[in-house]
Amino acid sequence: MRFTGNKRSGNVTDRRGMGGGAMAGGGIGAVVIALIVMLMGGDPGAVLQQAPVEQAPPGSAPGAPPSDSLGLFVDQTLASTQDVWKQVYPQATGQQYREPELVLFSGTTGTACGTGQSAMGPFYCPPDQSVYIDLSFYRDLKSQLGAPGDFAQAYVIAHEVGHHVQNLMGTSDEVHNAQQRLSKAEGNEMSVRLELQADCYAGVWGYHAPRVSEVVLDPGDVDEALNAASAIGDDRLQKQSQGRVVPESFTHGTSEQRARWFRRGFESGDMRQCDTFNTARL
């Protein structure tokens, strides 16, 4: 994946190095990483373990837009999602798209959902319409979960922006309200449907990005995204972390489901194909 220009989103804030403590011992093991990624896109109120604090890269001023290469990549990826959804969202809903904010942080940071921590993995907070990510997650995505590549990293951002689209459409509130009336297993299934739809929306972005934004896809990019989607499937993570799979506890979908719904969005470019709530087969 390559950018042909230098367009930035204008909506990224770099809070790295602005505080937050580190747990003794430092580092995050593979088992904890598996649990972290299970929370990707989920409720940021559940905290597993705090990651070490990282200082802002040289030349970066905390609170300012990022100036390092990875921070810039995230900024340009967010700009690409904005280009895509400014076109796709109004066409599908008749409403104007409202851009999300994105916050880079290290260790901990304040959010409208409470204290955000690195151990949550990347997450979207509906009340402040912001995506939060500690970029050390990308290191773990590669080393602990075997999902390297720039398009895999972009998929992570696109998935979280997919949750923003759901928030704008009222889907997130509908799911939350329904879960209050359902059993735990039924509520988990609703979470799976929400997450798979966000994967599909990430695929919709991937379809349109080379057409409407400064993105060029290289051979193998789609495979990177599919690999990342598979790497964070509930079945694979549970097998890795606890040695067994408990389907009724799934909240994000299996590896096969996540990859398949991303591909569905990527091949169609049509968010109407992402209705995970009215399909018998997930």
Residue 103 host element (H or E): strand 101-104
Q: Which residue stretches of the chain are H helix? A: 30-38, 69-93, 136-143, 150-169, 171-179, 184-212, 221-231, 234-242, 255-268
**Statement: residue 55 has pLDDT above 60:** no
Q: Which residues contact 278 (CB under 8 A, 6 or more apart)?
A: none
**What is the model's pTM?**
0.85
Mean pLDDT, the chain, rounded, equals 85
Angle between helices 221-231 and 184-212 (to 10 degrees): 170
Which pLDDT value is given to residue 152? 95
**Could you tell me the pLDDT band of residue 26, with boundaries at 50, 70 and 90?**
very low
Find the distance separating the first CA and the last CA of the chain, reported in whole Å.
Answer: 29
Q: What is the pLDDT of residues 86-140, one digit of tens each?
A: 999 999 999 999 999 999 999 999 999 999 999 888 999 999 999 999 999 999 9
Higher pLDDT, 248 or 255: 255
Q: What is the pLDDT of residues 34-50, one digit of tens each?
A: 344 444 444 444 333 33
Which pLDDT value is given to residue 28? 36
d(CA 13, CA 131): 10
What are the CA-CA distances from residue 188 to residues 106, 123, 194, 241, 250 (Å)? 29, 18, 10, 19, 6
Domain boundaries in the chain?
A: 2-278
Which pLDDT value is given to residue 63? 67
CB 166 within 8 A of CB 89: no
User: Can you give the three-state secondary structure of 26-86, one letter per residue?
Assistant: CCCCHHHHHHHHHCCCCCCCCCCCCCCCCCCCCCCCCCCCCCCHHHHHHHHHHHHHHHHHH
Mean predicted confidence (pLDDT) in 62-87: 92
SS3 138: helix
**Statement: residue 56 has pLDDT above 80:** no
**Statement: residue 27 has pLDDT above 60:** no
Q: What is the pLDDT of residues 148-173, one digit of tens each?
A: 999 999 999 999 999 999 999 999 99
